[in-house]
Each structure stands twice: as C-alpha cells, then as structure tokens.
Amino acid sequence: MSDALKARRPAAASFIFVTMLLDWLVVGIASPVVPKLIVEFTGRIDSASAISGAFATAFALLQFGLSPVLGILSDRFGRRPIILLSSLGSAVDCLILALAPNLWWLFLGRFLSGATAASATASAAYVADVTPPERRGAAFGMLSAAFGLGFALGPALGGLLAGFGLRVPFYVCAGLMLANAAYGLFVLPESLAPEMRQPTIAWKRANPLGSLKMLRRHRDLLGLVSSLFCSNLGVQSFSVFVLYTIYRFNWSEAANGLGLTAFGAIAVVSSMIVGRLIAKFGAQMVAVTGFGLGCVGFLIYGFAPTGIVFACALPLTGLWSIAGPPIQSAMSRHVSATEQGELQGAIGSVRGVAMIVGPAFFTLLFAWVSSFGTSPLVGAPWFCGALLLVAAAVLAHRAMRFESTAEVAASA
C-alpha cells in the first residue's frame, strides 16, 4: 500500500461507508414511494401490485447481471473510477425517477437502480485492497452496517419526504449522490496499484454465470459460497414480513415500519462490533452463532401466538448480521489481490440469484398456506427460512474448519 493511500485511508474508508449507505438508502427510500407512483400512473391497486413485482424483479436481474461486470472492470481499471461513476449514475437514476412522465420512464429508473446497487462489488473489493486479512472481518462488518442503516432509515425517510410530494424523495437522493460523487473526487485514492491490475478484461468471466466459474479455480470457496447463498436466500423471507404481521396480528403501517426499523438498527449495531467478536471468539464461532440466532428468531416468528412475542424475536434476527462478515472475509483470503473484484462480483451474483428467486418463492408459499386459515402452516415461510439458516451454519462450520486446518498445516 502506498504512503499516499495510507495517509488518506481514514477519509477513503469513510467515503466507502457513506457510498454504501447512500446506495441502500436510495433503495429503501424508493420502497414506500414507487408503489404510490405506480398507482398514480395506473389508477388501480391490483395492477400496481403486479407491476411493483415486475419492478423488483428487474432491479434484481440487473444487479445480478452487472455485479460481475463491475467487479471485472475494477480489476482491470481500478476501483476508484467504477465507484465514482456508479455514484454519478445513481444521481442520474434518481433524477429519472423524479422526472418520470409515465410508467415506462419509471421502469427505466428502477432498472438502472439495479446497476448502481451492483457497484457494491467495487466497494467491497476496495475494502479488501486496503485492509489486512486479519482485519477484513471488521471492515466487511462496517459495510454490512451501512447496508443495515440504509435498510432501517430508508423507508421511514422516504415516507417522511413523500409528505412534501411523491417526487421530492428522489430529488433529495439525487442531490446526496451527486454531492457524494463530487466529494469522492477529492478524498478517494485508487487502492489497486497498476502492477496489480489484470492486463486484459476477462469477458468470459464478466457474465453472471461465468463469474461463478472462479469456483472451479478455487474449489475451497464452494462451501463458503454455498453458505452465503443459503443465508441470502433465507433473508428473502422478509418479503412476507408485512403481509404476515397484518394477517396474523393486524399490525398497522406504523407498527410494521417500527418493526423493520428496529431490525435494521440491531443489525447495524451488531455489524459494528463484529470485528471485536471475531477477535475474541474466532470467525467460525461468530458465523455459526449468527446463523443460529437468526434461526431461533425465525422459529419464534412462525410460532408466535401474539404480536408482542413476534416483536421479541426481532433482536435475535437482527443479530444474524454478524454471520456474513467473517464468511466474506474468509473468502477474500482465498484469492489473490488481482482477483478481489472478480470475487466480489461472484458474491454479488450469488446475492442476485437469491434476490430473484427468494421473493417469488416466499410470497407464493405464504399465499398458499394462508388459504388454509390461521393454522400452524401459516408460519411456513419462516420455517423454510430457519432451515436455510441451519444449512448455512453447517456449511460455514465445515468450510471454516477446513480452512483453519489448512492454515495450521501450512504453518507447521
């Protein structure tokens, strides 16, 4: 790492955190506003519901498709230009949403949102570049905290700003992203030295499925990637959160907003202390414990007889967020410095698949089980989520145990 980069690393790290926060804040702000805009254009709630689902799928598909592309490009040209251009692109995207004259322009804005969210791959690669391997768990924990904070604040902020007009939230987001990109020009140095960059663009690995082929070169990543996929698929069970609480406990919009905010706040706090937990208990223990707590929380969700009992499980599922950073940190140690962008692109593709498949599966499952009335079956989405977390815990335990064994053998 150059002396210039060391000197500016604190400001650069803060910029990466703020960029990730703003990326997911925009996503969160849009969640309560876009459906109302769709209703405004269509005039019908039933058609607006179907269109909202199509928008969510489009967002996930583009994020899935572009995550490996941006990862590969960052390996070739450096992290800085990809991150700054993505921030600028997000500002343009927000302006499109603010000015959209019809449904098609609104769809274009949501479609491009998936592209800007895919820039998380370059941000994660930047963190891997500037952080020693033994500290990456804490660093990725901060990125996870940025995601959780955006998830917690976005919907509430979007609803508040929409009180001044449905387009106001997107104008605010555009201004924030534009200011962030301008600030980054001054404080964000390049993290990938020219001699460490890929000599050419590996386009064969720049497609979503091609990026996953790196598992053939790094088979030791298979267990960790599988664990991450199960975890990301499990989190998609939250797509039925609002439907479930309304159906079971008759929660209001305010109650649901507070519940989701509480979950996000706990996730933020736990992500910020994950580095200390790893230092004290070890990465394997932290990952398995996080999945275990999330599993218990899901089971309580499914069996909860009252809304109060359901709410008491929110801290457990919020603590689940400690599981991801140690796994992502372990994965980053298995590839070279020139492959960090490709690795983060592959991780983005794994998350993208979960975001495409998960919401449809869990919402359809809930629609089916709720047709039987308030039977124990109605908790099936949460029970499936719990099973996925059990699988994630088992896979992480085995993969990280083998990793530890290999390191011991290498040092002997």
| Residue 198 forms part of a structural domain | no
Whether 224 and 393 have beta carbons less than 8 Å apart is answered as no
Q: What is the CATH number of the domain that holds 357?
A: 1.20.1250.20
Alpha-carbon span 308 to 312, nearest angstrom: 6
Q: Which domain holds residue 305?
A: 3-190+205-411
Q: Within 236-312, where are the H helices?
A: 241-249, 253-272, 274-281, 283-303, 307-312
| Residue 195 forms part of a structural domain | no
| Residue 82 forms part of a structural domain | yes
- pLDDT, tens digit only, all 412 positions of the chain: 555 555 456 667 778 888 888 887 887 787 767 767 877 887 764 455 557 667 777 777 777 777 777 777 888 888 888 888 888 888 888 899 899 888 888 888 877 777 776 667 788 888 888 888 777 777 777 777 777 778 778 877 877 788 788 899 899 999 999 998 898 888 888 888 887 787 776 666 666 665 566 666 677 788 888 999 999 999 888 878 877 887 888 887 667 767 777 887 888 788 778 888 988 888 889 999 999 999 999 999 999 999 999 999 998 898 888 898 888 888 888 777 777 777 777 777 787 788 788 877 887 788 788 777 666 788 999 999 999 999 999 999 998 875 544 443 333 3
Map tokens 């987001």 to a residue: 173
Alpha-carbon span 358 to 172, nearest angstrom: 31
| Residue 223 forms part of a structural domain | yes
* Sequential DSSP letters for 152-213: HHHHHHHHHHHTT-TTHHHHHHHHHHHHHHHHHHHH----S-GGGS-SS--GGGSSHHHHTT
| Residue 197 forms part of a structural domain | no
- How confident is the model at residue 195, as a pLDDT? 79
| Residue 97 forms part of a structural domain | yes
343 token code pair: 């690795």
Question: Using one digit for the tens of pLDDT, what is the confidence trace for 273-303?
Answer: 888 898 888 888 999 999 999 999 999 999 9
- How confident is the model at residue 320, as a pLDDT? 87
Question: Using one digit for the tens of pLDDT, what is the confidence trace for 135-193?
Answer: 777 777 777 777 777 877 887 787 778 878 889 989 999 999 999 889 888 888 888 88
303 token code pair: 């069996």
| Residue 200 forms part of a structural domain | no
| Residue 37 forms part of a structural domain | yes
The closest alpha carbon to 241, from 150, 106, 146, 151, belongs to 151
Alpha-carbon span 237 to 383, nearest angstrom: 9
End-to-end CA distance of the chain: 29
Domain count, the chain: 1
Q: Alpha carbon of 233 to those of 61, 128, 185, 199, 329: distances in Å?
A: 15, 24, 36, 35, 20
